[in-house]
Structure formats: structure tokens, C-alpha cells
A and B are shown apart, each in its own frame.
Chain A
Amino acid sequence: MARRPRARKRNAPRAKKRRNRSPHYSPFSTWWNQVNAAISFSLRRLWYNPISTWITLAAIAIALSLPAALHLMVKNMQTLTDDNQQIPTISVFLKQHISTDQAKDRGELISELSEVVTVLFVSKENALNKFKRLSGFAETLETLEENPLPHALVVTPNLRIMNDTKLTNLIRTLKSYPEVDAVQSDNEWMQRLRAIMDIAERVILVVSVLLALTVLLVVGNTIRLDIENRKEEIDVARFIGATRSYIRQPFIFGGLWYGFFGGILSLVIVHFSIFFLIAPTNRLSTLYGTQFNISGLDFSTSFYILIASGLLGIVGAWIAVTSHLRRREITF
């Protein structure tokens, strides 16, 4: 019983010292506490202003989804012209009077050319049967006295050594044979489509830059309005010792959230759009007798869109808050 008061007395100064000690923080923990506060504050601002938040996010999402959708469209069309997936062939139509043996002989000679990989002989009978099957005019074609179609050779060029000049030379060589009536290359329309794709890619680049500027303006204007609403708070904070970076932080995070969540919303819009296009695209490709599967945004593209949208949000917010801090002095 006698010991207790003595023990309390001995510990009392230490306890008092502990109570009065002001906390010491490393620069990192100070910065981290400020960042934590800015993150939670900026998220709360978004959460408690749902109408303005959703309007801003929708504007950003639409602006971002347009270039993303155009990019996707071009990417899907590029699969049609992709040499690795669809090998271009040359159709060589022989003259009407050329016999089957003559046609096969010419086919063998062509297959010996170094620029050629394979030659497929399509007899006029096979061609007619296929035409009857695909065209739907079978009954009409039955009434013909003789087969109007010629024998044909389907030539597959060697793509490893082939370029546009060599392909043109090969077509010229094929045309020069006496048995040959006409030569048609699948590559021509692909080259045209590829040229259109090149233009489309540039259009997308221009549209992307313009819409990125739109995102900057939308975020910048939203943050500017937020700054206007919080002018007094900024003044008070500056007056009691807030640095410029401390004042910037919640606005920069606000811009980041607008950009990032706007990016997520744009991905949702793009994927929903693809979902609506799958059925009609499949129907169209069936009508053309091909199989074409529309592909969506892959993981890396989605990731880049989110990074880009987040960065645009940060830059927009940075411009708005920095211009405000440069302009305005404490007014009280």
C-alpha cells in the first residue's frame, strides 16, 4: 500500500512530458498525411455533388468514347486488310476456247515461277456449279445452252518476297500469256482500303487531339467553378500558412478523379456500343459469305485510355488552379 503513491510520483513527470511533447513528423509522413486528406476530401466533394459530378463525367466520357470508338472501327477494318490473316490471290481467267489440258499445262508452268507459291485450277464446270449455288439463279442458268464461264487459275503469290512492284510485274507476266483473257488481283481493293485506313487514322488523330482539348476544357472549367465556390476557404488556408502545393492538391486529385472515372465511363459506353453492333455485323458478314468477328478494346488499349484520361484531368486541374493562384492575392 505504501509503495503505490511513490511509484505514481516517480512516473508523473515522465507522463507530463509525454503529454506536452508536440508530435514530430518526417517530411514524408507530413506529405503523406496531406495527400491522404486531399484524396478523401476530393472524393467526398465528388460524392456530395452528384448532379454536377455526373454531368462532368458524362461530358468527359462522351468526348473520350468518340476517338476510342473510331480507333476500334479502324482496328476492325484493318483486320480485313491484314496480309497475315487473309492471303491475297490473283485470279487468272483463261480464254473460252482453251481446253482443260491446255489450262492445266499453263497452270503447271505458272507454278514454277519463283514469285508463286501455289496454283489452283478451277474448271469451268466447277465454277458454274459454285455460281449456281451462291447466286440463287440456278434455274435460270439451267436454260443456257453452253457454259459461259472460262477455266480459271487461282494463283497465290509468295508474300515473303512480294511487294507492290513485284506484284504488278507478276500480274503483267500473267497477262502476257496467250491463253489468258483477264487477270484480277484481290490485292487492289485491299490497297485502296489500306489507303482509306491511313486517312481514317489521321482523322482519328486530329479528332483525338481536339477531343483531348475538350476534356482539358471540361475539367479545367469544372475545377475553376469549384475554386470560385471555395475562394474564401483558399484565402483562409493561404492566410494560415498553406503552401501553393497544399492548396493545389485537392483540386489536382479532383481533376484526376474526373479524368479517371470519365475514362471508365467511356470504356463502358464503347463496350455497350460494340454489344449493340455484334448482331448486325454478324448478319452482314454472313450475307457476304465471310466470317467477321467484331473485336472490342483490348486490355492494354483500355489501360492507355484510363492513363490518358487521368493525365488530361490532372493537366486541366493544374492549369485552372495555377492560374487562380497566380491571379489572386489574399483579400482580407
Chain B
Amino acid sequence: MIEFKQISKKYPTGQLALYNVNLTLQKGEMAFLTGHSGAGKSTLLRLIAGLEQPSDGTLMIEKTDVGKLKTKQIPLYRRRIGMIFQDHHLLADRSVFDNVALPLRITGLHHRDIRRRVHAALDKVSLLNKEKQNPMMLSAGEKQRVGIARAVVNKPKIILADEPTGNLDPELAQDIMYTFKQFNDLGATILVASHDHHLIEHMRKRIIVLQKVNV
């Protein structure tokens, strides 16, 4: 499903974020990515999401060589992946419904199907009653769940989360992790970057530790 073969990533500034990474994630697997700050967790997720291109090596996602994608193919590739950020990136001038509907509007779905799918996604994160609210009116945990609903509404096979519980108290963080587990149970491959060891160990899933590159 996800295969890193000797992947290195060097930024134009000269900073080496990843060096010679070899990693395989099976279809339907859930794993946690951990390591110190600057170890390259976010870079690794951005490579999978198609936001960055590897400097060296081969990155295969569902038989697609991400490094060889043409510029025009990248948007279509990104639709196959759902990504959640620590700071949500929700649009403040739209309702919860419109935020979650955005990936479906981009795909060009009819508004009837959009309504149906958004309601299903909001139902999964228990926010169906908040669809008309502005995201800025929600608590941090609710905002994160809106972000999750937006990431899963397009039914992606891969879900990536970059420090999704960073701003949340332990109870809410655990709720969010269980939400991920539910999507994993439905067949999605999930990779979560987090440095909350206690939470990760509690989930009893595979843990991948990234070491900071020293050059």
C-alpha cells in the first residue's frame, strides 16, 4: 500500500529532513509515527500526501510512483488521501457543512450526493447537530473532528494525521484516536504522527520511530 524505498528529502535551503528511509505499510494497517522534533515526521506525511517530492528514492502508494507524478496528476492523486492537521485549517467564513463538503465540491458531486455524504461523515464524528455552525464557535476537539470529517468524506483509502491531538486534553485526544481506529476498522490505512508516547502505547498499534538525521 505505502512503500518507501531509500527515500531522502533535502529542502532547497540545504536542510536534510529524511535520509535513506525504508518503510512499508500494508493495506488496512494503522501505525503511529513518532520521533523528536525535526526528525522528519511531517515531511514523511507530506511526501505521502504529494505536498513534497522526494529528493531521492522511490515512494510507491497503491502502485503509483509519487515521485514520477506529473503536475496535472497531483490534484487527482491528493483526492485519494485524507489528511488531518494539528491546527485544522478550517475555513472561518464557512459553516461546518461547507467545510466538510469542500472535497466533494472539488470532485464535482451533485449537491444531493454532497448533502448525503457530508451528513454521513458528520454523523461518524458525532457532529451532525453542528452542521450549520461556524467552526470558530466550536471547541478544539470539535474543530479537530470537523477536520477528520473533511478528511474522510471523500472515502480515502489512506488517512494521514499530523499531530492531531497536539492541542487537546488527554480525554479528547483519546476520543480522536478511537475515531481513527473506527475508520481503520472500516478498512482505511492510517498513519498518525504524534509524540504523545502514552497515547500511542495505549492504542497498541505499530509504532515507527524516526531518528533525526545528523549530517
- Select one of A30, A232, A330 contacting B107, CB under 8 A: A30
A304 CB within 8 Å of chain B: no
Q: Is the CB of A31 within 8 A of B91?
A: no
The contact size tier of chain B is 20 to 34
Mark A287-331 against chain B: 1 for CB-CB distance below 8 A, else 0. 000000000000000000000000000000000000000000010
Given contacts A33-B109, A242-B75, 15 further A-B contacts (CB under 8 A): A23-B113, A25-B110, A29-B108, A33-B110, A34-B106, A232-B91, A233-B91, A236-B91, A236-B102, A240-B83, A240-B154, A241-B76, A241-B78, A243-B76, A246-B75
In Å, the complex CA distance between A23 and B89 comes to: 28
Name A's interface SS: helix
In Å, the complex CA distance between A332 and B45 comes to: 12
Residue of A nearest to B99 (CB): A236
Which B residues are within 8 Å of any A CB, using their own CB?
49, 51, 72, 75-79, 83, 85, 89, 91, 102-103, 105-111, 113, 150, 154-155
In Å, the complex CA distance between A239 and B102 comes to: 11
Q: Is the CB of A246 within 8 A of B91?
A: no
In Å, the complex CA distance between A140 and B43 comes to: 104
Q: Chain A residues near B107 (CB, 8 Å)?
A: 30, 241
- Report the minimal beta-carbon distance from B77 to chain A, rounded to whole angstroms: 8
In Å, the complex CA distance between A243 and B91 comes to: 19
A85 CB within 8 Å of chain B: no
In Å, the complex CA distance between A129 and B205 comes to: 117
A232-B89, A236-B89 as given contacts; A37 in contact with B79, CB under 8 Å: no
Mark A11-48 against chain B: 1 for CB-CB distance below 8 A, else 0. 00000000000110100011101100100000000000
Q: Is the CB of A239 within 8 A of B78?
A: yes
23 inter-chain pairs at a CB distance below 8 angstroms, sorted by A residue, are A29-B110, A30-B107, A33-B109, A33-B111, A34-B106, A37-B105, A232-B91, A235-B89, A237-B106, A238-B75, A239-B89, A240-B78, A240-B79, A240-B83, A240-B150, A240-B154, A241-B103, A241-B106, A242-B106, A243-B76, A246-B75, A246-B106, A330-B51
- Report the minimal beta-carbon distance from A110 to chain B, rounded to whole angstroms: 80
Interface residues in A210-264 by Cβ distance below 8 A to B read 232-233, 235-244, 246
Per the CB 8 Å criterion, the residue count for chain A at the interface is 24
A239-B51, A332-B89 as given contacts; A34 in contact with B105, CB under 8 Å: yes
Q: Chain B residues near A246 (CB, 8 Å)?
A: 75, 106
In Å, the complex CA distance between A31 and B185 comes to: 34
Interface centre among A25, A30, A239, A244 (most CB of B within 10 A): A239
Nearest 5 interchain pairs by C-beta: A30-B108, A241-B79, A241-B78, A243-B75, A33-B108
In Å, the complex CA distance between A22 and B85 comes to: 27
In Å, the complex CA distance between A241 and B106 comes to: 7
A236-B89, A237-B102, A239-B51 as given contacts; A25 in contact with B109, CB under 8 Å: yes
Q: Chain B residues near A238 (CB, 8 Å)?
A: 75
Residue of A nearest to B42 (CB): A332
Q: Chain A residues near B103 (CB, 8 Å)?
A: 240-241
- Report the minimal beta-carbon distance from B9 to chain A, rounded to whole angstroms: 15
Q: Chain A residues near B105 (CB, 8 Å)?
A: 34, 37
In Å, the complex CA distance between A31 and B106 comes to: 10
Residue of A nearest to B155 (CB): A22
